[in-house]
Every structure is written in C-alpha cells, then in structure tokens.
Structure 1
Amino acid sequence: MGFENIIFEQRDGVARLRLNRPDRLNAFTIPMHAEVAAVLDLLEADEEWRVLLLTGEGRGFSAGLDLNESMPVPGQPPRDLAVPLERRWGPLVRRLSRLRAPVVCAVNGVAAGAGANVALACDVVIAAKSARFIQSFVQIGLVPDAGGTWILPRLVGQARAMGLALTAEPLPAETAAEWGLIWRAVEDERFAEEVEALVARLASLPPLALAAVKRAMRASSVATLEQQLDLERDLQRQLGFSADHLEGITAFNERRPPAFTGH
C-alpha cells in the first residue's frame, strides 16, 4: 500500500507509522488523516503486530491541524470546525486508545495543538529533550481539542492543565516528564536508540498481558473501585489459562528467556 503523507512498515512485531510532511511540521491534512485511518484499519484486522510506534519525520512530531485547510475563504461563511473533530480527530484518538496493543509515541520535536494531544493519547510517550509540547489553541481563539481537555487534567492535575491551556506556553519535554505528562525524556543523541530499545522490549513481552494491561488502565479512568477489582479478576482469570502465562513461569523456573506467542 503506497502512501504520500506517511511512512508505514512492519518488522519484528513492531508496526511503525511515521508522519511524513516535514515541510509543514507534519501538520495533518484530510489526505494524511485518511492514510493514518487506512493503517489503523490494517492493524485492527492484523493479529501479528505487538506494538505500534508513532513518530514524525524531520524536526517535529506534528503541528496539529494544517491551518491552510481551515482558513476562511473570502465571501464564504466560516468553516464549521466541529466537522473535522467529528470525522477525523475524534475517531483518531478513540482508535489509538482502543487498539488492542500498546501504542508508543516517539516525540522527536515540537508537538503542538492537536498534534500534542494525539501524542498524549498514546499509551507510552517518549520524547527527545529538545521536544516541546504546546497547547497552542488559545492563540488562534480556540479550545484544546483532540481530547486535550480530558487528557491534560488527568495526567498533570487541574492547575497545570489550566495553565498550559490558558497561556499556550511551550512545555519542555524534560518538564513534561517531571510532571508525569509523558513516560520519559531522553538526550537527543540517544533518542533513536532509546525508542528502539523500548519498542523491542514491548514486542518481546506477552501480547495478551500487554493488551490486558492497556484495557485495565484505560478502563480505570471511568470505573469505580468495585468495577476495577472485578475487571482485574476477570482479566487475571483469562491470562492464567494462557500459554504465555505457562511459558513465563516455565522460563522463569528454567532460567531462560521466555518465548511468548500471544496464545
């Protein structure tokens, strides 16, 4: 499958999706959304991949919406900005959160607007220390979208989320890690190496357990303690009967690396 706005490949259990409009800081257009959606279609139907790596080409992860697509046309009414949220950004964030396997976002540079919130919607976010996260919406008279008003308060608390949204102040990756907004910030010269080590480790772990961890953690944001305890019980029951659980215990007792199959 050929793409013009993204680069996609699969190898060693890792699906790799790279946004590829570096001249526009990987800002999303309708064609880019369509290509990303096509990749997610493939992944939803494929049981072979174990982790998705999402990153950007060039000096940034994504500047969010390409504003050229929303510029007012002289003599015509303003565009309805709810339409791209309903048709493209909302579905993208929902699908990333619902994919069965972990999604790692490697933020290689600036992540702004909806681009920042797509990154933060992923399961594990690793960033180069030179990267910055910017809730730039207020600068053009808008509210954070692509899940930003839901994600930010849950990750960093109301005070910091409000400050980020109201001031549009760039947040350095190192501070983002200190605040708990992302998993880790690493030195730029070690960034590629650290990303590869992270996805390789995730790809080597039991897929059923990874999927269950993701499901349980995602469910906890809306569940009561009672509901979460029941979910943990049910997931543990399923995993306890899996071949991967037996393999993990056997490999531990035999003092050898486990070979998980996802069964």
Structure 2
Amino acid sequence: MIYTTLTVTEDNGIGLIVMNRPTLMNALNTQMRAEITAAVRDLGQRMRVLVLTGEGRAFCSGQDLGDGASVNDLDLGRILREEYEPMLRAIYDCPVPVIAAVNGAAAGAGANLALAADVVIATQSAVFLQAFSRIGLIPDAGGTYWLPRLVGFARAMGQALFADKVTADEAVEQGLIWASIPDDKFDAEWRARAEQLASGPTLAYGAIKKALRGSLVNDLETQLDVEAQLQGEVGKSRDFLEGVMAFLEKRPAKFEGR
C-alpha cells in the first residue's frame, strides 16, 4: 500500500508507523485513519511488534476539524462508527504488542489513540489532554472506556470535565501510561523496548493481551478458565520449549515467535 499520511518501515520484526502530518500536529483525517487501520492490520500479521509515533513536535492533536465538510456538516457519530472504530479495533485486537511512543502532545482523539496501544512510552515533555469539553463534546475514540479503567472514576471524570493537561510524569503516577522518559533518552528507550519485544515469545505476548483484556469483564471462574486455555496453547509452542531449555542451560533464550 502507498501511504500518504504515514511513514511505514519494517526492521528486524519491528513495524514502525509514523503519523506524518507535522504541520497539523498529525491531526487525524479520514485518510490517516484508513491508513493507520490498514498498516496495523498488515504489519500485525507479519511483524513481531508495532510502534506508533508522530513526526515533529506532536504525537497527535486529535480530529482534524478542517477535514472535508464544514463543522456544521460533520456527522461525528458516523465518523466514529465507520472510521475510528475500525482503527481502534485494529490496534486493540492486534495479535502482537503495540507500543505508542508518544513524542509530544497527545490531545483529544490523539490521546485516546495512544491509550488503545498495549504500552504507552512518552517523552517527559509530552502532555495528555482530554480536550473535548473545550469545544462542547464528550471524550470519544475510546476515551470513556480507557480512562476510568486506567486512572479510576474520579480522575477520569476530572480529566473529562476540566480538560486539564496531564504531564507525562503525572500520567505515569496516575497509571495512565507505562513510562515517562527524559527527552534526550526517549528514542533510545522506545527502540530498546521494541527490540526486546521483537525478540521475545510472540505467541505468549498475544496470549497475555487476550488474558489481561478479558479480565476487565470476566469473573474469577471465567478468568481461571481463560488462563488454563491460553496456557495450554502456549505451553505447546516451540518458544516455551526453548525458554525451558535456555533456563536449564543457563543461557539467553532465542525465541522464534512460534
């Protein structure tokens, strides 16, 4: 596929997706949403880890309000159902780990795009902003789902109502994201984490995602059944055998992702 709003590269099992509309702070238009959906679906079948980041000073400023029709003609319900939902589901359901490397401001739908990933690593100068109420809207792009599960009801409500900026350090403290990294070390850190996952037990990572996501809605009995089923599957993988042999032989494991 030829991408016009993204830069997509592949390297040693790492699929790198860079949102590339820097003059608009990587605002999401129809084309970019379609391209992110296609890139994630494609790379998720061939790579062992995906990284989503932004070009320039921002990660993503959210919905491009200048895209297509005038504001009066925007059908936000249709856009969310037909364009955002496939993109978010592609990330959420991706069979391999997805890292959001938040290189700058993540606002509105851009913040919630990052939260759809499995792991969020942000540069220390980045901010997260549920900007929706500033223009008379509610958090969308999964925001009302992610926020209360990640930071609790009180903080989720406060972020949604007041639309205050949350710094990367605050986001870590609140449990919103995984890590805040000094700006000068940010690129090296997310690349190192991506390389770690790209050389790891890919099937186990996929099972971890299924198990943890299922735990959000399952009761204990159901979740124990899920663990038994998934552990039985990955316990038959070549990577499990390699992991055991490497442990017994006191050497680093060489996982194949199978």
Bin for the TM-score computed over the shorter chain = over 0.9
Q: Is 1:68 equivalent to 2:63 in the alignment?
A: no
d(CA) in 2 for partners of 1:186, 1:122: 17
Q: Is 1:238 equivalent to 2:236 in the alignment?
A: no
SS class of match (1:61) = strand
Any residues of structure 2 matched to 1:58-207 within 5 Å, and which? 58-69=56-67, 72=70, 78-207=73-202
Corresponding residue number in structure 2 for 1:21: 21
Q: Is 1:51 equivalent to 2:49 in the alignment?
A: yes
Conserved? CA contact 2:123–2:181, under 8 Å: yes
Question: How big is the shift at 1:72?
Answer: 3.2
Question: How big is the shift at 1:195?
Answer: 0.6
d(CA) in 1 for partners of 2:113, 2:128: 11
Q: Is 1:30 equivalent to 2:25 in the alignment?
A: no
More off after superposition, 26-35 vs 165-174: 26-35
**Deviation per residue, 1:144-175 (Å, 9 max, x gap):** 00010010000000110000000110000000
Conserved? CA contact 2:17–2:51, under 8 Å: yes
Which amino acid is the alignment partner of residue 51 of structure 2? L
Question: How big is the shift at 1:78?
Answer: 3.4
Any residues of structure 2 matched to 1:244-263 within 5 Å, and which? 244-263=239-258
d(CA) in 2 for partners of 1:205, 1:35: 27
**Deviation per residue, 1:238-259 (Å, 9 max, x gap):** 1111111110010111122211
Aligned length: 258
Q: Is 1:218 equivalent to 2:188 in the alignment?
A: no
**Deviation per residue, 1:26-72 (Å, 9 max, x gap):** 0011111122122133135x3x3111000000000000110102763
Conserved? CA contact 2:14–2:47, under 8 Å: yes
d(CA) in 2 for partners of 1:37, 1:100: 14
d(CA) in 2 for partners of 1:78, 1:220: 40
Conserved? CA contact 2:41–2:94, under 8 Å: no
d(CA) in 1 for partners of 2:179, 2:134: 28
SS class of match (1:69) = coil
Which amino acid is the alignment partner of residue 245 of structure 2? T
Conserved? CA contact 2:200–2:257, under 8 Å: no
d(CA) in 1 for partners of 2:37, 2:244: 38
Corresponding residue number in structure 1 for 2:8: 8
Conserved? CA contact 2:102–2:121, under 8 Å: yes
Which amino acid is the alignment partner of residue 50 of structure 1? R
More off after superposition, 142-151 vs 237-246: 237-246
Which amino acid is the alignment partner of residue 58 of structure 1? G
Q: Which runs of 5+ in 1 are unaligned?
A: none
TM-score by length of 2: 0.97
SS class of match (1:67) = coil
d(CA) in 1 for partners of 2:160, 2:104: 19
Question: How big is the shift at 1:233?
Answer: 0.6
